[in-house]
Amino acid sequence: MNTKRKLAALPAGILAVLITSIAGQAQAADSFKEMFTQGKGGFAFRYRLESVDQDNFAKNALASTIRARLNFRTSDWKGWGLFAEYDFVETVGWDNYNAGAGNTPGKTRYPVVADPTGPDLNQAYLSWKSAGGSEFRAGRQRIKYDNDRFIGNVGWRQNPQTYDAVSYRFKNKAGVDLQFAYIGKVNRIFGDEVAAGNHDTDTLIGNISKNWDNIGKLTGYYYNIDNKDLAAFSTSTYGLRFVGKQKVGSTTLGYTAEYAHQTDAANNPVDYSADYWRFDLSATFGGFTPYLAFESLGGDNTRDGAMFRTPLATLHAFNGWADKFLATPAAGLNDAMIGVKGKVFSSWKWNVVYHDYQAESGNAKFGSELDASLATKLAGRYGVLFKAASFKADNSSNYDDTLKLWFMLTGSF
């Protein structure tokens, strides 16, 4: 199905919102010249030291990298604006790591730290905003929906994931938030120098939510991915997500429930369907938040390729920081989590979480993981992070024990 036919097939309600919300334009600059002279530039850096000790590799990885980021946003003129962002990643000292996807072919004896060096035009888009709450963007851009579980920017890596896309968003004071986009290319974390760095797609994604104060937010979504370069990533997914919190005396209860169904799409060679489930429960009191969660990605232990995938997600944020499950196992994955987080010395945030991993289909056990982090903000513009992940494989699994350690320093100006 071509792009025009896809857009024509959008529900009538969405088209109505598009038409009615365009009325009126927000103005900031008084002239085209002032659009640029009143614009604002920014600079940010992020230094990270990452260590990986992974069984079955001859050497441990040690990556010392720094990212410099420059950006510029024009002032709005008759609703129009421009934004551009440029990143440059370089090693500082230790570069004993495999950057992945063929970026460092001479370093395959090291575990992967997916931070290739070099420049990248991270974002460059034209935008238009209306006084009615609409915004259109065209060009290279960051797209993040909900908690990044399905659509994200992989912001943990030094070279984030962006999209060559046309996107639309509408928000109003009644709590309605409508987003959809057509994506022509995915600019992946591996950079432009390798084949896996870019994927051509014919992808349409849509997400709409309604927030109710003191109750929660209900989101419905549909993501149709047609990946021209990696057929296994071509999927069609729809689902519902509800997240909220309630005050009960001095305790704040948090809760999440989510379900999604996925099938093969376009050129995917495997005919399959799989389900996704997520449940979270937390309680905050006295500065502490104990929490538990369960996430399930369906699979089939009798055949390959029939597992639930999230190819556009920020995967590091899910199923453990050791990144053992960036690809869903063929038998699927059940991830049971229990953790606690809080603050110490008023400004330091800490988090400890334990994961137990098993197959969704069959009886296989993959292993367990303990993650911990400690972070703070300094002077309003600097950040410090210490982080660790220890994965212990089950004796019967094909995974290997892994220990990862991080130190990160950030600054924005």
Q: What is the pLDDT of residue 286?
A: 87
The pairing of strands 365-378 and 382-393 is antiparallel
CB within 8 Å of 11: residues ≥ 6 apart: none
Rounded average pLDDT over 354-359: 98
Separation of alpha carbons 121 and 79, rounded Å: 24
Q: pLDDT tens digits, residue range 192-214? A: 999 999 999 999 999 999 999 98
Work out the mean pLDDT of the chain and round it to a whole number: 92
**DSSP-assigned states of every residue in 18-71:** HHHHTSSB----SSHHHHHHT-EEEEEEEEEEEEEEETT-SS-EEEEEEEEEEE
Separation of alpha carbons 138 and 45, rounded Å: 26
The secondary element (H helix, E strand) that includes residue 235 is strand 235-248
> How far is CA 291 from its chain centroid?
21
Q: What is the pLDDT of residue 341?
A: 97
Place of tokens 């260590």: 51
Beta bridge partners of 181: 167, 205
Separation of alpha carbons 109 and 114, rounded Å: 14
**DSSP-assigned states of every residue in 157-193:** SSS--EEEEEEEEEE-TTSEEEEEEEEEEEE-TT-TT
Residue percentage of the chain with pLDDT more than 90: 86
Q: Read off the tokens for 356.
A: 């137990």
Separation of alpha carbons 177 and 216, rounded Å: 13
Would you place residue 59 in the very low, low, confident or very high pLDDT band (cuts 50, 70, 90)? very high
Separation of alpha carbons 398 and 40, rounded Å: 51
| Torsion 373-100-358-51 (CA) sign | negative
Q: What is the pLDDT of residue 287?
A: 87
Q: Is 13 helix (H, G, I), strand (E, B) or coil?
A: helix
Q: Read off the tokens for 411.
A: 């600054």
Q: What is the pLDDT of residue 237?
A: 98
8 A C-beta contact, residue 272 and residue 306: yes
pLDDT above 80: residue 4 = no
Place of tokens 């001095």: 250
Q: pLDDT tens digits, residue range 128-154? A: 999 888 999 999 999 999 999 999 999
Q: What is the pLDDT of residue 32?
A: 87
Q: pLDDT tens digits, residue range 73-106? A: 999 999 999 999 999 999 999 999 999 999 999 9
Q: What is the pLDDT of residue 6?
A: 41
pLDDT above 70: residue 25 = no
Would you place residue 20 in the very low, low, confident or very high pLDDT band (cuts 50, 70, 90)? very low
Q: What is the pLDDT of residue 228?
A: 97
The answer, as to whether pTM is greater than 0.75, is yes
| Short-list 323, 329, 331, CA closest to 390 | 323
Residue percentage of the chain with pLDDT more than 70: 93
Q: Secondary structure of 189-209 in the HEC alphabet?
A: CCCCCCHHHEEEEEEEEEEEE
Beta strands, E only, 250-347: 251-264, 273-284, 288-297, 333-344
Q: Read off the tokens for 379.
A: 């002077």
pLDDT above 60: residue 5 = no
CA distances from residue 252 to 211, 248, 283, 292, 340 in whole angstroms, order as listed: 18, 6, 6, 15, 14
Q: What share of the chain is helix, strand, coil (3-state, %, to 5)?
A: 10, 55, 35
Q: What is the pLDDT of residue 16?
A: 43
Q: Is 402 helix (H, G, I), strand (E, B) or coil?
A: strand
CA distances from residue 407 to 125, 322, 385 in whole angstroms, order as listed: 33, 15, 6
8 A C-beta contact, residue 219 and residue 241: yes
Would you place residue 22 in the very low, low, confident or very high pLDDT band (cuts 50, 70, 90)? very low
Q: pLDDT tens digits, residue range 27-58? A: 578 888 889 999 999 999 999 999 999 999 99
Q: What is the pLDDT of residue 7?
A: 39
Separation of alpha carbons 40 and 28, rounded Å: 13
Q: What is the pLDDT of residue 113?
A: 98
User: How many other β-carbons are positioned within 10 Å of the β-carbon of residue 249?
Assistant: 6
| Short-list 127, 178, 183, CA closest to 153 | 183
Tally of residues, the chain: 413
Q: Read off the tokens for 404.
A: 């990862």
pLDDT above 90: residue 345 = no
Domains, the chain? 3-412 (2.40.160.10)
